[in-house]
Amino acid sequence: MKRRRAIGAELLDEGVHFRVWAPAHERVSVVIDGRALLLEREQGGYHSALIRDARAGTRYKYRLADGDYPDPASRYQPEGPHGESVVVDSTYAWRAEPPRIDDHIISEVHLGTFTREGTYAAAIEKLPLLADIGINTIEVMPVNEFAGRFGWGYDGVDLWAPTNIYGTPDDFRRFIDSAHALGLAVILDVVYNHFGPDGCYVAKFAPQFFTKKYGNEWGEAINFEEASVCEFFAENAAYWIDEFHLDGLRLDATQAINVIDAVGDITKRARSVTDRDVYLSVENEPQDVRLIKELGVDAMWNDDWHHAASVALTGFREAYYTDYYGHARELAAMARHGFLYQGQWYSWQKQNRGTPSHDVDPHRFICYLQNHDQIANSAYGLRIDRLASPRSVRALTALLLLGAHTPLLFQGQEFASSSPFLYFADHNPELAQAVAKGRREFLSQFPSISHFIPPHDERTFTDCKLDWSEREKNRDVVEFHRELIRLRATMPRTRPEVATLTQHALALRWFDPQRLLVVNWGDEPIPTSEPLLAPPVHSEGRTPSSARRGEAALSRGRADEGVRPSQWIRVWSCDGAELFTSSDADVSDRKDRDRST
């Protein structure tokens, strides 16, 4: 019997083959239209059978000793995680070839708030607007089935089933196919570190899924020491790449995958099902670069970059921002060495944090000014340009998009969306109160936060939906991002030489090809004595006149002349030509707001 994946209900020419891992049971039946059909028990605790009269659209559950339950590897749950599973025909007439992306420019998207409708179909209509400015990769927050009418997706319980809230599995395929037609790659955020609290039935089939040996801040720890558990997740990764033509995965919070080698098994399996490039990134709070060096991961999220940039823009240094100063030297160090914390003492955690990353290529670090977590970890879920001077935000946006690292934007960032992004989760009343209590306790690490918005309030969710009319209203911001992304194509992706010019200014210099990037988000004068600011010299020993003009422009940057931060986003090329500059005339300032509001 030739199957594509090891578990689940698969449609074959002869019927539907059902296979489930249920080592805790001697007898498992599949229940279809009231009929209970006994599966054959295999070695290793698997149960399977070919049901010849089943077909695409057949609804079913598995019968165990204590009741009937959905398939832990269900491909579709049209009535949510407590309802019947549905057999899905995975064949799809793909129209577009997945694009080959050499330099990912990522936009993180939550499909429920990306549009007012909150569906795969509605999201398709907005994809041209991302491609229009040069974004080439969409990172979709988790779409696995979860309980409730709305949520972030990180409390998924059916990891093989795209949630019915956004549409059907084929609607998701159509979304991916439409993105490919526009040259956009699609990466899916997957959660392999815990299951959600409502609608998770895997332990009914296999108590071995969980262990008390390890802790987990979101629920029961998954037992990656059990080979069949590892197989479940490795096969799931392969499933998304194979049957949905996804271009990659982002593995959430891999520090909670208690056997780190399991990540290597997942990356290998994901790549084994295709000849296409598969882009695999991870979140890992301890910043363990073994994930890149030994386990097949392409890139890691760099929270250090976000935290330092956020402190630079807002001055806010509570909780996990405590160990960052927001000085230019921190951002300069990361441009050169990757992570900021590579084993040094980290006072917030009262332990050393990080691993050496100075020999890891810059593009393997994903950097961001905003993401779903960091916006939501606040009282009101305000975007960074509501908390800091837009001039300063523009300066660090230039550093984000022109640096050699891989940049990530959060949905709507490219048009200065005013929509907040808060933590929202719809649960039954008892669980909703427990989740709200946990969220309130998490936010208590920030002493300045006194206001709390309940996650289960539907308005919390609907307020986070993007208002796409703002894209036209903030056309200058859109053009600013478009121009930076256009310029990025001319910038080297190698590690630059760096210099800290002032507490709020730095220079990045590449020599092959010659590029000089100067970013200043402060008012201090720029010292022209820094060697990296020296203009390039032609082979005949002559300094181009345009470079001499550029040097003069820097030397005129005196604080007493009213120099403002965004005046000093400047890029020069090898012949001294000024490729890009941004001035105060390009942006209107808005009143600074305190981070706590």
CATH number, domain of 48, equals 2.60.40.10
Distances from the Cα of 175 to the Cα of 91, 103, 116, 140, angstroms: 15, 22, 16, 11
Gap between the Cα atoms of 237 and 267, Å rounded? 8
Total of domains in the chain: 3
Residue 3 resides in a domain: no
The letter for the amino acid at 535 is: P
What pLDDT sits at residue 563? 34
Domain final position from 488, 509, 528: 488
Same structural domain, 122 and 12: no
The pLDDT tens digits of the residues spanning 250-290 come to 999 999 999 999 999 999 999 999 999 999 999 999 999 99
Question: Per-residue b/e over 28-66, b at no fewer than 16 CB within 10 Å?
Answer: bbbbbeeeeeebebeeebbbbbbbeebeeebbbbbbbee
What pLDDT sits at residue 560? 32
Write out the two tokens for 541: 């020993």
What pLDDT sits at residue 567? 38
Same structural domain, 52 and 112: no
17 strand-pairing partners:
10, 50
Same structural domain, 426 and 504: no
Gap between the Cα atoms of 358 and 476, Å rounded? 37
Residue 50 resides in a domain: yes
Same structural domain, 453 and 502: no
The letter for the amino acid at 3 is: R
On the 0-12 / 13-18 / 19+ scale of CB atoms within 10 A, 206 is buried
Collapsing DSSP states into helix, strand and coil, what is residue 588?
Answer: coil
Catalytic residues: 252, 283
What pLDDT sits at residue 573? 61
Domain final position from 435, 466, 488: 488
Residue 244 resides in a domain: yes
Write out the two tokens for 44: 């290793």
Same structural domain, 156 and 192: yes
Torsion of CA 245, 128, 479, 481, to 10 degrees: -10
Tell me which residue range forms the domain holding 288: 106-488
Same structural domain, 426 and 562: no
Same structural domain, 130 and 218: yes
Residue 58 resides in a domain: yes
What pLDDT sits at residue 235? 98
What CATH number does the domain containing 365 carry? Answer: 3.20.20.80
What pLDDT sits at residue 518? 92
Residues 366 and 401: beta-carbon distance below 8 Å: no
**Count of other CB atoms within 10 angstroms of residue 189:** 23
107 strand-pairing partners:
138, 409
Same structural domain, 318 and 352: yes
What pLDDT sits at residue 370? 98
On the 0-12 / 13-18 / 19+ scale of CB atoms within 10 A, 215 is exposed
Residue 77 DSSP symbol: -
Residue 443 resides in a domain: yes
Same structural domain, 409 and 540: no
300 strand-pairing partners:
282, 365
Place of tokens 């526009």: 182
What pLDDT sits at residue 583? 53
Same structural domain, 547 and 407: no
Low-confidence ranges of the chain (pLDDT < 70): 537-597
* Element housing 140 (H / E): strand 137-140
What pLDDT sits at residue 561? 35
Collapsing DSSP states into helix, strand and coil, what is residue 221?
Answer: strand
Would you mind telling me the total number of residues written for the chain in this entry? 597
Residue 1 resides in a domain: no
Same structural domain, 444 and 501: no
pTM, two decimal places: 0.93
Residue 197 resides in a domain: yes
Same structural domain, 559 and 460: no
Write out the two tokens for 102: 């050499």
Residue 592 resides in a domain: no
Q: How far apart are the first and last CA of the chain?
A: 60
Domain final position from 488, 519, 538: 488
